Chain A
């Protein structure tokens, strides 16, 4: 298995809803990442988990809450989002945090906040 799997592929949520995005990899990678991408822009880093511990939070608002239950799974919990949070959310993994082997990305979750 050489993939990063993200679910759901599409999500529409209201501003008062609570939802979660899920990311899974079975490549034994020990670093996992959440990125946010707006249309025609490069991905922007949100969070980095290194060996299941949060190592980087790029000053992301608290309405986004990451969780890494185990080395294969990464969640992003969403609560009280704003319409401007609508974007493509990408998960990525790397064999280790030194990034010597580069990144593997998932196909993303298209989030629309209404």
Chain B
């Protein structure tokens, strides 16, 4: 059974720092991995989608990497800003299935 773990559960860093959020999964036979952002009481916003054949994706200050063999993904945020404060969720999909498996998220707080 696929399990997705995100470490740390919570993180506070000063504004301007670069930071890394981690996501690990137990079954390397994934179809793709998606990183989401969720503000309190709001829906999920897709940040980056990495297909199983890809190693990384970039969007602005965000860079997500994928290492299927080790069952890991990282989300790198450069030059953090207070507006980056949110919960970040990673989710993996397994080919042939209609659903994705979420991690429990990392609550990020950027200190002004």
List residues of A whose CB falls within 8 A of some B CB: 6, 31, 33, 41-43, 45, 48, 50, 55-56, 88, 90, 92, 97-108, 110
Contacts and interface: CB of A to CB of B under 8 A. Distances in A.
B104 A56 contact: no
Contact of B43 (A42, A50, A99, A107): A107
A30 to B, nearest CB: 11
B1 interface: no
Given A42-B104, A55-B98, A98-B95, A103 B89 contact: no
Interface stretch (B44-52, B59-67, B72-80): B44-52
A45 to B, nearest CB: 5
Given A42-B103, A42-B104, A98-B95, A103 B46 contact: yes
Contact of A100 (B51, B91, B97): B51
Nearest to A45: B99
Interface of A is mostly: strand
A102 B32 CA distance: 8
B99 A105 contact: no
Nearest to B49: A102
Contacts of A108: 41-43
A48 B93 CA distance: 14
B31 A56 contact: no
B25 interface: no
A100 B43 contact: no
B81 interface: no
B34 interface: yes
Given A43-B44, A97-B98, A102-B93, 7 more contacts: A6-B43, A48-B99, A99-B100, A100-B32, A100-B51, A103-B34, A108-B43
Contacts of A104: 46
Contacts of A6: 43
Interface string B24-43: 00000001101010000111
